Structure 1
């Protein structure tokens, strides 16, 4: 069944509120057994839309679905943001719950009206898309621009296809692209993602919904923060992930970061054929434990400090990283939030001495680092990864601390069964730090060539 929303009274004039017309069309389409609800030839203004089973929202080329600029047009019963102390992100624009066979498609645009949020006397900024416990999801051939918070949040969902999606989210903090929490059988391909936070996230808020069978390929990433993040929210299990044939440009913090921080399991991760240009910290892998009840970054579902979990079986191959002159600069997010600088750069892996990362294989890697860091520019004391169950008050090494690296290219600590094969490292300028530090590692193979252009 095909339903055109203009036949339901939607004006599409960029001024009138079309929420009721769009929702009525979706409801009727579901009642009729499913089909497509089509927005064409106009700019449709709407508050929260609830997508239903067997219904696809199609926004045709030239059409725009624009998020209302008034926070009061967004429902409060659309689940919530699963990070502690960020209730301002609880509301959302397009929502689905316990639905199957749903999607958003077309060659048009969804515009999140980021510049209008937060409203005066309000803290709330709606996410663009949130799906909870849905299956058989298809997002394709669509522009998702300027969300007021995250662009997407797929929560406890399965069978997800995201293809040929263009995400541009650069106006506000929390400018994530694709976030998958507790999701399985995920297929992301041929997407372009630009934003102010993590372009793509794989996370686990519970043990009930493991993250598994995830494929990310043929995508390009640009971010004021990070490209791909696996973990941080890591209560449950994240495994069987393949990332391949992707490019990253101008990523001011980490290219690919893997953080097992909430007591769960992260393993069986394959990263292959990645091209990076101007990525401050190309690879960052961390095994620790953290619980910040009064701060950002901990799962709402986490109620106490967890034991250190398990991080193992990481394969990284055929990666090329090139720094241009741009990487001599300090890079900011919104003028005053430092994201990257040469002192912070390099490949870093870290863990507690008693809880090492296990089985990391890094092969066929080329890294041309800008170099030029002087010893006086970094502190002498570098913190260890602390088991917070043993010493909860001690400041330890974690994601955003320290904001410098001990080594120019590669600082790896407490990794058991480490393979470094066909690694070629090249500096554009001399750097006064050691090129490579491998502390507390059980090394299976080490084949590293280092050169300097000057």
Structure 2
């Protein structure tokens, strides 16, 4: 099954949090402390699926996030994971989440304005992400693309402008890996790190190639390799990265989080 969006077509997400059911398990929420357990588009256990066409998927994320925040403060819809330190809700919908899916293709589509992460994939196999335009700056913690414990992943020819990490490889499951991941020919702008391993890093990262990446206006690092939960990292190759106006060029942090 393929969702096809013609050029200039726009699929709008609702600005009411009541329209977004939760899908994450309690185990995942304990590990993934952002608590983003709602999505505009969701797939689980599917095979041979895709999204293509030059149209746009717009989550209307700022209006949605501010509505969630207002409902929390009025007591109508209390977020039990509300971030009191940063004064913002932690229960916010992603644009897209796919879990345990096989043979997935996303090509040429525009994604914009999630209330949380943009495109998120967990425990998927044979994933192709090609020629996407991702603008995800509507709110805080807005990653572009997140890949968790997936195998045979190809991300290429994408433009990503995100309010947090641009492309982030995560590992939420001990004994699981991101394996055989290729990231190439991408242009990334990020308020955090352009390409990042972690922060969630319970399993591992292996056989990752990063090639021909243009990065600019990135606050933290062009490339960040972090294993703070004890993940194993092996066979990572980085080449042809051109970065302008970034913090660190390459940042590496290994070990465990404080108190663990």
TM-score band, normalised by the shorter chain? 0.7 to 0.9
Q: 2:5 matched to 1:59?
A: yes
Superposition TM-score, scaled by structure 1 size:
0.51
Query: SS in structure 1 opposite 2:71?
Result: coil
1:92–1:130 CA contact under 8 A, matched in 2:
yes
1:442 corresponds to: none
1:121 corresponds to: 71
Superposition TM-score, scaled by structure 2 size:
0.87
Q: 2:190 matched to 1:240?
A: no
Structure 2 unmatched ranges of 5 or more:
73-88
Q: 2:96 matched to 1:148?
A: no
Q: 2:38 matched to 1:71?
A: no
| 1:221 aligned to which of 164, 183, 188 | 188
Structure 1 unmatched ranges of 5 or more:
1-54, 293-304, 306-454
Query: SS in structure 2 opposite 1:115?
Result: helix
Alpha-carbon shift at residue 81 of structure 1 (Å): 5.3
Spell out the pairing of 1:191-270 with structure 2 (5 A cutoff). Answer: 191-270=158-237
1:363 corresponds to: none
| 1:103 aligned to which of 38, 50, 66 | 50
Alpha-carbon shift at residue 102 of structure 1 (Å): 0.6
- Which whole-Å deviations, capped at 9, do the CAs of 1:163-184 have from their partners, x for residues lacking one? 0000001121111011000101
Alpha-carbon shift at residue 197 of structure 1 (Å): 0.4
Where in structure 1 do 4 or more consecutive aligned residues deviate above 6 Å? none
Query: SS in structure 1 opposite 2:18?
Result: helix
- Which whole-Å deviations, capped at 9, do the CAs of 1:45-103 have from their partners, x for residues lacking one? xxxxxxxxxx111111110000001110111235565754433x211110000111111
- Which whole-Å deviations, capped at 9, do the CAs of 1:350-404 have from their partners, x for residues lacking one? xxxxxxxxxxxxxxxxxxxxxxxxxxxxxxxxxxxxxxxxxxxxxxxxxxxxxxx
What is the total number of aligned residue pairs between the two structures?
A: 238
Spell out the pairing of 1:53-452 with structure 2 (5 A cutoff). Answer: 55-77=1-23, 83-87=31-35, 89-118=36-65, 119=67, 120-122=70-72, 123=89, 124-290=91-257, 305=260
1:92–1:129 CA contact under 8 A, matched in 2:
yes
Q: Whole-Å Cα distance in 1 between the matches of residues 4 and 32 of structure 2?
A: 34
Q: Which one has a bigger Cα radius of gyration?
A: 1
Relative to structure 1, is the Cα distance of residues 281 and 176 closer, same or farther in structure 2, using a 3 angstrom cutoff?
Answer: same
Relative to structure 1, is the Cα distance of residues 60 and 262 closer, same or farther in structure 2, using a 3 angstrom cutoff?
Answer: same
- Which whole-Å deviations, capped at 9, do the CAs of 1:146-170 have from their partners, x for residues lacking one? 1110001100111000000000011
Q: Over the residues paired in the alignment, what is the CA RMSD in angstroms?
A: 1.5
Higher relative contact order (CA 8 A, sep 6+): 2
Spell out the pairing of 1:4-43 with structure 2 (5 A cutoff). Answer: none
Q: Whole-Å Cα distance in 1 between the matches of residues 22 and 117 of structure 2?
A: 17
Q: Which moved more, 1:69-78 or 1:171-180?
A: 69-78
Q: Whole-Å Cα distance in 2 between the matches of residues 109 and 82 of structure 1?
A: 32
Alpha-carbon shift at residue 107 of structure 1 (Å): 0.5
Alpha-carbon shift at residue 230 of structure 1 (Å): 1.0
